[in-house]
Amino acid sequence: MSAAVTEAPAAPRRHGRRWLGLLVSALALLGFAWWAAHQEAPTIPTSAAALSKLGLGVLVYAAATVVRGWRWHVLLRRSGVEHHAADAYALAPVGYMGNTILPARGGELLRVVLLAARSPARKREIAGAILAERLLDALVLAGLFVLLTLARIGGSPAGDWPAVAAAVGLALVGAAAIAALRLGHSPRFAALVERVRPVARASVLLFRPVGALLALATAGVWLLEGIVFTLVGGALGLGVSLLEGVFLVVLSSFFALIPAAPAYAGTFDAAIVFGLKALKITGGAAFSFALLVRAVLFVPITVVGLVLVVARYGGWRAVRAAEHQGGDEEEPGRSLRAR
């Protein structure tokens, strides 16, 4: 996600991205439907043991969401954004809900406008913490991808070159960060630094000691999500190991970068099917896994997010009001609202 989430993008660009996402999702869904029509009918497990594994998967994913909320709270606090810690935790599922039902992955914008309504901080400062989250996710995912490729999990279906590219990308990001931090102390770039400081302040934290803690927490999140995939496989009687579950998480996360309709329609499913094929899981078993893991990952958190929007943030009327406040510079003296 770019820092442009702080301001409404130009209408043609916004609508262009939306239509591109819809087109990509339509094509991906057509391909998935064609593939599914040639597979065995999906199997939905009903035994107590299988349902308990699915229920545990929902709880594990809830734990991962709590860690994400804590991570955002730390980024907001360390970058000087005044806020209630409870909002950082509550807006994590709200953001996921928004990505599921709103176009252009509107969950990120939803987090910005709802927290801005309860904080004296500017929207660009709040968005900067989200930008740091996405950067941290990308860096840790790239590192995991390199490690999984070296471990030959899934047989490296795309070969070694993507892992090499990821390793080079990590090195370039590190070099760019070092260069940017050094240039930031130069008087020549003082004006530029002052302009980008509100957005970049949280991202700078990633290259300080606290960044190592946040990276470990992020790796823990992906590990927890890998456990969810393993539990779904266990509910279906499939032998999906923890490392294979993390492999599927990493693959589906990279596919999520492709513009798509809400809920990553089509692209997420294509990633799961592609990854399962690399793990030698095909046919009706793969179809069942794709449907079931989508249900575990998307349905509960969407329901929780909707409940929080209504119970804590005033429902869709408050969301629309926040979206139309206009501008980034809120009143600097505004105090935090009571919970």
pLDDT of residue 327: 44
Q: Which of 82, 73, 169 is nearest to 118 (CA)?
A: 82
What is the number of residues in the chain? 339
Q: Which residues contact 289 (CB under 8 A, 6 or more apart)?
A: 232, 233, 236, 238, 272, 276, 281
Cβ(302)–Cβ(96) below 8 Å:
yes
Q: pTM to 2 decimals?
A: 0.83
Phi first, then psi: what are they for 106, rounded to 5°? -70, -5
Q: Which residues contact 66 (CB under 8 A, 6 or more apart)?
A: 89, 92
Instruction: Give ∠ CA 102-138-163 in degrees, rounded to 5.
Output: 125
- Say which amino acid occupies 123: K
pLDDT in tens, the chain (339 residues): 333 333 344 455 556 666 776 677 777 778 877 877 777 888 889 999 999 999 999 999 999 999 999 999 999 999 999 999 999 999 999 999 988 888 777 889 899 999 998 899 889 999 999 999 999 999 999 999 888 888 878 666 656 667 777 778 777 877 776 766 666 666 665 555 556 656 778 888 888 899 999 999 999 999 999 999 999 999 999 989 999 999 999 999 988 887 777 888 888 999 999 999 999 999 999 999 999 999 999 999 999 999 999 999 988 776 666 556 544 444 333 334 333
What whole-number distance in Å separates Cα of residue 118 and Cα of residue 313?
A: 9
Cβ(89)–Cβ(100) below 8 Å:
no
84 exposed, middle or buried (CB, 10 Å; 0-12, 13-18, 19+)? middle
As given in the structure block, the two tokens for residue 271 are 């990633």
Q: Which residues contact 251 (CB under 8 A, 6 or more apart)?
A: 154, 271, 274, 275
pLDDT of residue 106: 82
As given in the structure block, the two tokens for residue 170 are 């990590």
pLDDT of residue 7: 39
